[in-house]
Chain A
Amino acid sequence: MAKPEIAARARHRDDVGPAESAEQREVALTLRVNAREHPLRLDPRTTLLDCLRETLALTGTKKGCDHGQCGACTVHVNGKRVNSCLTLAVMHEGDEITTIEGVGQPGALHPVQAAFVEHDAYQCGYCTSGQIMSAVALLGEPCGPNDADVRESMSGNICRCGAYPNIVAAIQQARGKP
């Protein structure tokens, strides 16, 4: 196994110029998160998720699977929900990024947040910020009126506690559906 792997690496990495240190490969950029500008220098490997949590200390966004399968890392980029674990921070200069910290505040909750509280739409809470970011975006997406439509639209957000019935009820209330 080792031999073909080494050969493949050599084949992949021979043509793009001399090796550089990690510092030399850093990229300077400004990220706009929750309407605040952040001048940064980042290793290009940094995902948007890791940048938010580790560099900007916005820890409301959670890391679950880190492979786009669970939705815990959901944030908005230019108003659209995305998995922040599957995108590089350096790809987002000029974008408007919104995290759970930018959605509501204690005492001034977003209607989706208030509905989650009212319907007890969580148990451990780890998936909740991703659920709420997804649900807030859902309000502006084409989505049918029924519970089944909400379940389909929210299928990218996994809740291991199984709070799904209450999550659907909370979202339907926020959408003004009975």
Chain B
Amino acid sequence: MQSFKFHRVEDALSAIAAGAKSGTRFVAGGTTLLDLMKLNVERPAQVIDISRLPLDKIAPLGDGGLKIGATVRNSALANHPIVQRDYAVLSQALLAGASGQLRNMATTGGNLLQRTRCMYFRDTAMPCNKREPGTGCSAIGGANRTLAILGTSEHCIATNPSDMNVAMAALEATIHVRGINGERSIPIADFHLLPGNTPERETVLEPGDLITHVTLPPPLPASRSFYLKLRDRASYEFALASAAVVVRVAEGRIAHVRIALGGVGTKPWRSTEAEALLAGEPAAEAVFRRAADAALSGAKPQSQNGFKLELARRCLVHALKQATETA
């Protein structure tokens, strides 16, 4: 691990001022950053400890929504009674991710910024456009079984590894950021970037930007939500495919639906195509299957991950069946 300066900050303004300097990383949970620093993938010159900022609260909003502080730990969020009652898909997604120890460390803001598990990104001996722009993508034509089939480019096919992000996408969360030019709010659909020609840029955040909190809109009355994660092991493994659904069925027809996929996209993959196909239709398996086909219609499988097409389709169909059967 390369040497770095370390400072603990107690207020957001100090964090933002320090964070605006190049080569600076914020640390809160540390579960991604420390892992990558040990691999020399992350080489910050300065690390700012933001874990003591007063951003660790979960509070109901006046409009019926929920405000989640950036340093709320994954375990605290997953086990919060309001989250379990009104945003079950988020609790389920969090509890499907990582281990008990990691969930006690990992934070809401950090999880939004979780880096890919692509083995070439993690190995400094190998070319990787995300880690060292312009060196090439080793995964295209390489070991790409776990990598993305949606949102890829000729420069990068790395999967966004987060479960939480998938649920947040289906819940239409808003990410609140404070930076050197003040505060702004970013819908999660606009927060993560597709790799395109610049896979090293993963979000719209600029140097100094500090995620302060995430807000969830009020839960839709009579809606149900569900997260289904498919993986090589039953526990403590990243998704090969996952689906987050929020759905309301009225008189047998789908009155409202939000869908996001995980494990298959270069970013948390909201599928408005599948949503449009489901709206107003009967809650029936044949309809779900058509929606799943629509969700994967733009997929571009690589040499080893063609199986993800059907896996993701069946994952979404099963998640929709689960969410509507209990409605």
Binding site for B on A (CB under 8 A): 1, 4-5, 8-9, 11-17, 20, 22, 25, 27, 43-45, 47, 66-68, 71, 74, 77, 80-83, 85-88, 90-91, 93, 134, 137-138, 141-142, 151-157
3 closest A-B pairs by beta carbon, nearest first, are A156-B99, A44-B6, A155-B235
CB neighbours of A5 from chain B (8 A):
124, 132
Q: Is the CB of B303 closer than 8 A to any CB of chain A?
A: no
CB-nearest residue of chain B to A44: B6
CB neighbours of B43 from chain A (8 A):
8-9, 12-13
Is there contact, CB below 8 Å, between B21 and A15? yes
CB neighbours of A141 from chain B (8 A):
75, 100
CB-nearest residue of chain B to A93: B8
CB neighbours of A152 from chain B (8 A):
234-235
Is there contact, CB below 8 Å, between B22 and A14? yes
Q: Is the CB of B27 closer than 8 A to any CB of chain A?
A: yes
Q: Is the CB of B44 closer than 8 A to any CB of chain A?
A: yes
Is there contact, CB below 8 Å, between B21 and A91? no
CB neighbours of A13 from chain B (8 A):
23, 43, 45
Q: What are 14 A-B residue pairs whose CB atoms fall within 8 Å in the complex?
A: A4-B135, A14-B22, A16-B5, A45-B3, A68-B101, A81-B101, A82-B101, A83-B101, A85-B34, A90-B6, A90-B8, A90-B49, A142-B79, A156-B100
Q: Is the CB of B59 closer than 8 A to any CB of chain A?
A: no
Q: Is the CB of B98 closer than 8 A to any CB of chain A?
A: yes
Q: How many residues of B contact A (CB 8 A)?
A: 43
Known contacts A86-B35, A88-B27: does B235 contact A20 (CB below 8 Å)? no
Q: How far is the CB of B21 from chain A (nearest CB, A)?
A: 5
Binding site for A on B (CB under 8 A): 1, 3-6, 8, 21-24, 27, 29-31, 34-35, 38, 43-47, 49, 51, 73, 75, 79, 98-102, 104-105, 124, 127, 132-135, 234-236
Q: How far is the CB of A109 from chain B (nearest CB, A)?
A: 23
CB-nearest residue of chain B to A70: B99
Cross-chain pair count, CB within 8 angstroms: 126
Q: How far is the CB of A28 from chain B (nearest CB, A)?
A: 11
Distance, CA A93 to CA B38, complexed state (A): 22
Q: How far is the CB of A141 from chain B (nearest CB, A)?
A: 7
Distance, CA A152 to CA B318, complexed state (A): 22
- Besides the known contacts A15-B45, A83-B101, 9 further A-B residue pairs in the complex with CB atoms under 8 A apart: A13-B43, A16-B5, A16-B21, A44-B47, A86-B35, A87-B34, A90-B49, A152-B234, A156-B236
Is there contact, CB below 8 Å, between A91 and B3? no
Distance, CA A157 to CA B101, complexed state (A): 9
Distance, CA A85 to CA B101, complexed state (A): 11
CB neighbours of A134 from chain B (8 A):
100-101
Q: How far is the CB of B185 from chain A (nearest CB, A)?
A: 28
Is there contact, CB below 8 Å, between A1 and B45? no
Is there contact, CB below 8 Å, between A12 and B23? yes
Distance, CA A83 to CA B35, complexed state (A): 11
Q: How far is the CB of A73 from chain B (nearest CB, A)?
A: 9
CB neighbours of B31 from chain A (8 A):
68, 83, 86
Known contacts A12-B43, A86-B105: does B51 contact A25 (CB below 8 Å)? no
CB neighbours of B34 from chain A (8 A):
47, 85-88
Is there contact, CB below 8 Å, between A91 and B4? no
Distance, CA A55 to CA B263, complexed state (A): 41
Is there contact, CB below 8 Å, between A88 and B45? no
CB-nearest residue of chain A to B21: A15
Is there contact, CB below 8 Å, between B133 and A83? no
CB neighbours of A43 from chain B (8 A):
3
